[in-house]
Amino acid sequence: MLDRLQDTPPDALLALIKQFAADEREDKIDLGVGVYRTDDGATPVFAAVKAAERRLLDEQDSKSYLGPEGDSGFVNALMPIVFGSDATMGGRIDGLQTPGGTGAVRLAIAIAQKAGVTRVHVGTPSWPNHIPIITDVGLEAPTFSHANADGSADADALLEIIRAGREGDAVLIHACCHNPTGIDYSPEQWDEIAEALSTSPVLPIIDIAYQGLGEGLEEDAAGLRKVLAKVPYALVAYSCDKNFGLYRDRVGAFYAKVAEPAQLGAALSNAAALARANWSMPPDHGGAVVRIALRDEEMRQTWLDELTGMRERLRWVRSYLAKADGKVDGVPLGHLEDQNGLFAMLPLNKDQIAKLRDDHAVYMAGSGRINIAGLTKGNIDKFVAALADVSA
């Protein structure tokens, strides 16, 4: 039976990682892997995380199972960060822990399917795993344009999907720091999106994986909150992997917003049953660390300070590249300053990307996506010069 299986295409990013590791040039630049890096090129453990881990080591008295809901203290401690001061909206929002943001997206899509959704509209380009998750659950994944050529968000395309929506439709929306474009909706566009969703049968599924890395914690959640204030039902997938640096610990949360508090029990019981069938229960360590850090005033402030430092560094890189716009013909950089988060898309063809790799030791995804955190004060001028060379 297993001889019926065919080879799947190799993951392009994993292949890129291997190529980069094998490159012996000392000035090589990695813009492919989607993790935050300091100006020294490191991806360190947060000081707040280290402090929380020390307390967890001292105080944890059991490794017994938590159940499919995971650490409810983690889920509750995170809610004011995501949803604001009225975090439960009068008892209409609650959730459970998931293995990373990916687990949260998977659970949101599975819940949507169980609730009668048959297709999930996705703005493209999008995170490469969104559509495979949707189709693996058995739903359709029609696409629409997310970005305009000038580096702004194509809100009109999203609004058209929402206004033409029918029963059984859902739409997946990035809350902030869009992956892979870095192009977010403006506050005014979020107002339009929320208003359109308020009268549409389309179910919003909001993926918030980079809160705090764009404009700020509050600013990055503002669009999501506008939508939740207008709609009766919504699903939210959250990741702590980036804004706590807990990549390998797989820390995420799924939340459901319902029209009436009495509906919340059924939504969460279905979510717990699906979680049980998919992964039984999430890993405990990372969620416990976030819970401890958020509940301790000193650790929480340390985390906020670290997050501010990350955000300011990303803004510096974007500003520096924007100022270099005139030095590179045919590859616009000026608009990068108006975008957010770790990622940006450059309009490079395959030959240019290959030349960057072969001639300049610059490694980036074949789509033109770059992780701007891979750029530092020590290598950013080399990158600009390399872009100028391949675009000449």
d(CA 299, CA 306): 10
pLDDT in tens, the chain (392 residues): 898 998 888 778 888 889 999 999 999 999 998 899 999 989 999 999 999 999 999 999 999 999 999 999 999 999 999 999 999 999 999 999 999 999 999 999 999 999 999 999 999 999 999 999 999 999 999 999 999 988 899 999 999 999 999 999 999 999 999 999 999 999 999 999 999 999 999 999 999 999 999 999 999 999 999 999 999 999 999 999 999 999 999 999 999 999 999 999 999 999 999 999 999 999 999 999 999 999 999 999 999 999 999 999 999 999 999 999 878 887 889 999 999 999 999 999 999 999 999 999 999 999 999 999 999 999 999 999 999 999 87
Which helix (H) or strand (E) is 13 found in, with range? Answer: helix 12-22
pLDDT at 150: 86
Burial of 99: CB neighbours in 10 Å, binned 0-12, 13-18, 19+: buried
**R_g (Cα) of the chain, nearest Å:** 21
What single letter denotes the amino acid at residue 357?
Answer: R
Nearest to 298 by CA among 81, 11, 50: 50
- Residue 4: both structure tokens together: 């019926």
Length of the chain: 392
Residue pair 285/251 in contact by the 8 Å Cβ criterion = no
Which helix (H) or strand (E) is 134 found in, with range? Answer: helix 130-137
pLDDT at 33: 87
User: Which residues are known catalytic residues?
Assistant: 127, 207, 209, 242
N- to C-terminal Cα separation, the chain: 54
Angle subtended at Cα 274 by Cα 248 and Cα 221, rounded to the nearest 5 degrees: 60
Q: Note the pTM of the prediction, 2 decimals.
A: 0.95
